[in-house]
Amino acid sequence: MMAGELVDNKGRGDAEWRWPSIHPEGRKFGLIALAISMVFLLFFQWDIIGWPLLALTGGVFAFFRDPERVVPQDDKYIVSPADGLVSLITEMDPPAELTGDDGSGRAGLPPDKAIRISIFMSVFDVHINRAPIGGTVRRVIYIPGKFMNADLDKASEENERQHILIERADGMAIGFTQIAGLVARRIVPFVKPGDMIAAGQRIGLIRFGSRVDVYLPAGTDPKVLIGQKMIAGETILAEVGQQKLIEGIAQ
């Protein structure tokens, strides 16, 4: 399937499997690991080191894989910004960086409590993050911090993180936060304030294990459950304005 091709459930579009591409951000790491492994295998003939390093090279390339995604084309849907597992759904105040005036005279998210969905990404997940809605990027705020386990709730306030606010043409805004984890040491943005983006568009990545928190608009309940597997740009997190909590059974 070509990028940007229209697909639907009425027979349009072709389905085929293909190897996912490697994002340019990760190619240099993979090539460095490959070069080091070749030195040990070909020059020193230290198989006990060279072969594990070669396996590690494959893992590095796999970590930075960047598969195509089929994004639902309907403004009422909020899609997952990350691959991974829903680790927490709670109601709390959004970060101060996403609320109030940012100095430009433009308000951010309401300061009232909002439902937050936390998505934990292991080192085995795709780490390219995508926009949950289409609109204009209003804020990209990076905050240095610690590198504790991203699965902990306090990581939202203490870890290295980056807040992003996207506003639609109708004024509805979604805020979400990329949070670095134990191994992660760099959050890489692909967008900046003022950029116009589409739902499901690539907006950044977090290297080597992390988490993303999404703050839903008022009057919107999640359509996902704790423990559910997310696919960035495809899984529908919520439907704007719909309040109907769901329950599930793990089996």
Q: Which residues are catalytic?
A: 210
SS (H, E, C) 120-144: EECCCCCCEEECCCCEEEEEEEEEC
Quick one: tokens of 33? 């690991």
Which residue bears the tokens 């709390």? Answer: 92
Best CA proximity match to 75, nearest among 222, 245, 236: 236
Residues 6+ apart with CB under 8 A from 205: 23, 25, 64, 127, 128, 129, 187, 188, 190
Buried b (16+ CB within 10 A) or exposed e, 130-166: bbbbbbebbbbbebeeebeebbbeebbeebbbbbbbb
Other Cβ atoms less than 10 A from the Cβ of 177: the count is 27
Contact call for residues 118 and 86 (beta carbons, < 8 A): yes
Best CA proximity match to 227, nearest among 136, 119, 135: 119
| β-sheet bridge partners, residue 177 | 163, 213
Other Cβ atoms less than 10 A from the Cβ of 44: the count is 10
